Amino acid sequence: MTNNNPKIALITGASRGLGKALATELSRRGWRLLLTARGAEDLAAVASELDAEAIAGDVADPGHRERLAAAIERLGGLDLLVNNASSLGTSPLPRLADYSREVLTGLFDTNVVAPLALIQDLLPRLRERDGAVVNISSDAATGGYEGWGGYGATKAALDQVSNVLAAEEPGLRVWWVDPGEMRTAMLADAVGDEAADAPPPEAVAAPAIAGLLDSRPASGRYVAAELGVEAGAR
């Protein structure tokens, strides 16, 4: 698609799964993309396929976030930040009674502190364009599922970060989205072969999130399956 004035998005965790599917969906809609993920080889392949820019690294690293912010400055602005990168933690998922506090601290660094830090770094550019923030949540943020206590606690915290950010930044759209179960490597790490029964992220979650950009509903928590996108629809 040719677009002389494309909107610009930064997507984290874009080398596979939901991040890759959402990048593909936005590329199809003419967006200019800056992609990041820790896996340099996989990220480069996605960026090449989508004619996107890519900077490999860990969003929990302040130096990497500085490189991303510099790239956004070079691109001239930012319309959308998608905080998709996250960690599941220990697999198989441990009960809270056995949870390593060191692992839990690392989870909060990756799943909560890093997304907030990236938001803080990029807020001036988002404000300039009445931009949007999408923080990827989970049903584990609200459900009491055995073994999901550590990951779920981080996603509940990210939900509340989003909730307060929405109140403090009324000029932006802040959406925190439960994408539902998806056929991803993370779900396979958590539940094994059962993940094969879930729809791929490009079937529901990615088009549902992209649809938010079209309708720009009020800031808030959304569930992808409730956004009117049927599995397989494009």
In a domain, 31, yes or no: yes
Catalytic residue set: 151
pLDDT of residue 203: 86
pLDDT score at 3: 63
Asked whether the bond before 170 is cis by omega within 30 degrees of 0, the reply is no
Containing domain of residue 157, as a range? 8-226
Number of structural domains the chain divides into? 1
Centre a 10 Å sphere on the Cβ of residue 121 and count the other Cβ atoms it contains: 16
pLDDT one digit per residue (tens) for the chain, 234 residues: 456 689 999 999 999 999 999 999 999 999 999 999 999 999 999 999 999 999 999 999 999 999 999 999 999 999 999 999 999 999 899 999 999 999 999 999 999 999 999 999 999 999 999 999 999 999 999 999 999 999 999 999 999 999 999 999 999 999 999 998 888 888 788 778 777 777 888 888 899 999 999 999 999 999 998 987 655 443
Q: What is the pLDDT of residue 233?
A: 45
pLDDT of residue 124: 97
Q: Please, are residues 107 and 150 in contact by the beta-carbon 8 Å criterion?
A: yes
Residue with tokens 């539902």: 180
Choose among 52, 69, 162, 80: nearest CA to 115. 162
Residue pair 83/12 in contact (Cβ under 8 Å)? The answer is: yes
Q: Find the CATH number of the domain harbouring 84.
A: 3.40.50.720
Residue 44 lies in a domain: yes
Decide if 3 is inside a domain. Answer: no
Residue 234 lies in a domain: no
Q: Is 2 inside a domain boundary?
A: no
What's the pTM?
Answer: 0.93
Residue 120 domain-assigned (yes or no)? yes
Q: What are phi and psi of 106, to 5 degrees?
A: -65, -35
Query: 3-state SS string over the chain?
Result: CCCCCCCEEEEECCCCHHHHHHHHHHHHCCCEEEEECCCHHHHHHHHHHHCCEECCCCCCCHHHHHHHHHHHHHHCCCCEEEECCCCCCCCCCCCHHHCCHHHHHHHHHHHHHHHHHHHHHHHHHHHHCCCEEEEECCHHHCCCCCCCHHHHHHHHHHHHHHHHHHHHCCCCEEEEEECCCCCCHHHHHHHHHHHHHCCCCCCCHHHHHHHHHHHCCCCEEEEHHHCCCCCCCC
